[in-house]
Each structure stands twice: as C-alpha cells, then as structure tokens.
Chains A and B, each alone.
Chain A
Amino acid sequence: DQQVKQNSPSLSVQEGRISILNCDYTNSMFDYFLWYKKYPAEGPTFLISISSIKDKNEDGRFTVFLNKSAKHLSLHIVPSQPGDSAVYFCAASDSGGGADGLTFGKGTHLIIQP
C-alpha cells in the first residue's frame, strides 16, 4: 500500500519551459514533505521541503505547492534546464520534521529536451 504516490513514471519537458511533478499521499498524519533529486549511480540529494502549515515554498527555480485538503503536492521547476534531468522523489514524514525515516514515492524520471 503506497502511502506516497507519484503516478507519472516519466515526464519530458522542453528546455526553458516549466516542469511540474506531482505527488499524492494518503496518510493524513504526514506533516512534512520533501523532494529529492537523484542522478544515476548517486544517492538522492535534498532539493526542497515544505511543512504542512504552509502551502508554498520557493527556492530559486524550484517551488513546492501543498494542497492539504486534496493530499497533493507538486514541484514546479522554471525555467527547466538540461541539468534538471534526473529522477525526482517525493517524500513525507509524520514526525513534524524530526529525525524519523521518510516515506518515499517511486519517483518520476524528468527528461529535459534541448
């Protein structure tokens, strides 16, 4: 039973356009959400996070939106660049951002086309 779902295994976007990656969750106890980026043969690296008390968090080209009523979050990348091509994982925590383990989605492979 996947508590964090990324329903798009892959997404292709043209360079310079906006990339939107989606994530849904089922556990209403989740109160902290993170996005990780992963290149082949490397471990995931932290990208951006959001607490459930917020509905938006922005960091440069990356913005995460949270819709608690829909149990949905999305990551926007604008403008998309070739180096953004990677697998993006959505993750969630039910511990208020404490030191507990994360529940991950299966990932979305983003391909930025020149």
Chain B
Amino acid sequence: DAGVIQSPRHEVTEMGQEVTLRCKPISGHNSLFWYRQTMMRGLELLIYFNNNVPIDDSGMPEDRFSAKMPNASFSTLKIQPSEPRDSAVYFCASSHGQGPTYEQYFGPGTRLTVT
C-alpha cells in the first residue's frame, strides 16, 4: 500500500487566498484525521471523520477552516481566506478505527506558508 497520500507537499500562498489541502487515506481505513503542527502548539487535532461523517470538529480554529470527505478515499481541508498565522504543517492520518488497539497512519504532511 502507498500509505496516506497528501498533496501538495508544499504550498506558498498570499494572505487572503483560498488554500485546499488534499488527502487520500489508506484503502480500507474508515477513520480520517486532520492535524496541524506548529512550533507553539505542537500537533493539534483539527477534525476527524468516521465512515466519511465528521465526528468532532471542535479543533477547527475558525470558520475560515472547513473539511470535507465526499467518499472513503478522499478528503479536503480548505482555508478561506488564508492568513499568515495559518502557516504550519498539516497532517492527514487514517486508521481502521477498530478497538481495543489501533494505530493512526500519518501522511508526509503539507507545509503551508502564507505570506
């Protein structure tokens, strides 16, 4: 398996522009997670989906952030409009979501720079 795929790997954009990050989870996994990593706050959970349904979006910082999962093999995280403080590395992760033990498999991340 190719693992979790994220695109683009790097994104540089100007303040006010719309940014869309993409994620393809591991086939067969039914849970998908979006995390953000910054120096100040470390790795934070933004939102996660089970069976394509958003379960908890309490980590989404503002209404400028939105995420969708239209099918089991694709998810997007959109920022509109983007701001310099959104600069971070955004990770997507997936898991098969079955207890009592599970692992989340992370993608390589998208490094976003907003100028």
Interface residues of A (CB under 8 A from B): 32, 34, 36, 41-46, 49, 51, 89, 95-107
Contacts and interface: CB of A to CB of B under 8 A. Distances in A.
A91 B78 CA distance: 26
Nearest to A106: B42
A101 B33 contact: yes
Nearest to A53: B100
- State the main secondary structure of chain A at its contact with B: loop
Given A89-B43, A99-B50, A44 B91 contact: yes
List the 5 closest pairs (A to B, CB-CB), nearest first. A43-B106, A99-B97, A106-B42, A101-B45, A104-B43
Contacts, number: 72
B114 to A, nearest CB: 20
A19 to B, nearest CB: 20
Interface of B: 4, 30-31, 33, 35, 41-45, 48, 50, 55-56, 59, 91, 93, 95, 97-109
A44 B44 CA distance: 13
B23 to A, nearest CB: 11
Contacts of B93: 43
Contact of A105 (B4, B30, B42, B109): B42
A97 B91 contact: no
A98 B43 contact: no
